[in-house]
């Protein structure tokens, strides 16, 4: 078991879509840090709550390893890594605690604009490019469709043009990226937003009280906004 700690550590995205909203939300909860925006670690001043600035992909793993106690991450990323763990037969290591109301997007199947979409059976035997192979393969299995999952780490939307896949499965917010690539969204696999993620099992030292207080403050904020 990990040694007892008396400071809470929260991982957020260093830069990217979730970085500023995550910081603002935590600041609205009364947290403040010593100036070190370009550093990896921000020491908490108002409360013993420190920040770790990382890539979003690393956040679920940091919670799983107990390096961080909480993280602000897209549900898409959290769910992908949770499903990948499950597919490997590993125990659940983290769970979403609260939806945070920003970073909304959908993980969707998109097909060439000129396809006459008749339903998921049209995916049978096709190659589908995605950065979310675990969510996609679980969904295909659920749908009873046999298709090939082509894993790409980025620029998924150009795969059909390059001929590496006929179809893609990617995040969509405005839909402009799909349209620019002559693709259209046809099926939703996941409704996503930024979530506060925590460990699957409760902490049992001073951090438990800090975590409960932070959740109370977060819940208080959403009441004010409603």
Nearer to Zn ion, 16 or 119 (CB): 16
Binders of ligand PRT among residues 145 to 174 (CB under 6 A) are: 157, 170-174
Q: Is residue 81 near ligand PRT by the rule CB under 6 A? A: no
- Per-residue binder mask for ligand PRT (CB under 6 A), 104-143, x = binder: -x--------------------------------------
DSSP structure class, residue 26? H
- Nearer to ligand PRT by Cβ, of 148 and 177: the residue is 177
Judged by CB under 5 A, which of 11, 52, 54, 56 binds Zn ion? Answer: 56
Residue with tokens 């819940």: 219
Q: How long is the chain?
A: 226
Work out which of 60, 71, 103, 198 binds ligand PRT, going by CB under 6 A.
103
Number of Cβ within 10 Å of residue 159's Cβ equals: 22
∠ CA 133-134-137, rounded to 5°: 80
Strands 8-13 and 70-74: parallel
Read off the tokens for 209: 């009280």
What stretches of 88-131 show up as alpha helix (H) in DSSP?
none
List contacts with ligand PRT (CB under 6 A): 13, 16-18, 55-57, 74, 76-77, 103, 105, 157, 170-177, 192
């Amino acid at each position: 078991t990990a040694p007892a700690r008396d400071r809470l550590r929260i991982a957020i995205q260093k830069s990217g879509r979730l970085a500023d909203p995550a910081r603002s939300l935590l600041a609205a909860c009364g947290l403040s840090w010593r100036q070190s925006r370009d550093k990896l670690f921000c020491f908490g001043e108002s409360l013993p709550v420190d920040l770790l600035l990382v890539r979003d992909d690393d956040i679920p793993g940091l919670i799983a390893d107990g390096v961080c106690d909480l993280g602000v991450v897209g549900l898409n990323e959290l769910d992908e890594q949770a499903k990948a763990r499950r597919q490997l037969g590993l125990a659940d290591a983290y769970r979403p605690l609260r939806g945070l109301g920003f970073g909304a997007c959908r993980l969707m199947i998109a097909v060439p604009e000129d396809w006459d979409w008749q339903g998921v059976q049209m995916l049978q035997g096709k190659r589908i490019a995605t950065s979310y192979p675990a969510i996609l393969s679980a969904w295909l299995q659920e749908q009873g469709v046999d298709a090939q999952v082509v894993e790409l780490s980025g620029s998924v939307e150009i795969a059909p043009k390059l001929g590496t896949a006929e179809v893609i499965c990617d995040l969509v917010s405005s839909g402009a990226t799909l349209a620019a690539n002559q693709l259209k969204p046809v099926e939703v696999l996941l409704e996503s937003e930024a979530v506060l993620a925590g460990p699957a099992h409760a902490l049992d030292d001073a951090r438990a009280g800090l975590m409960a207080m932070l959740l109370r403050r977060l819940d208080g904020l959403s009441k004010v906004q409603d």
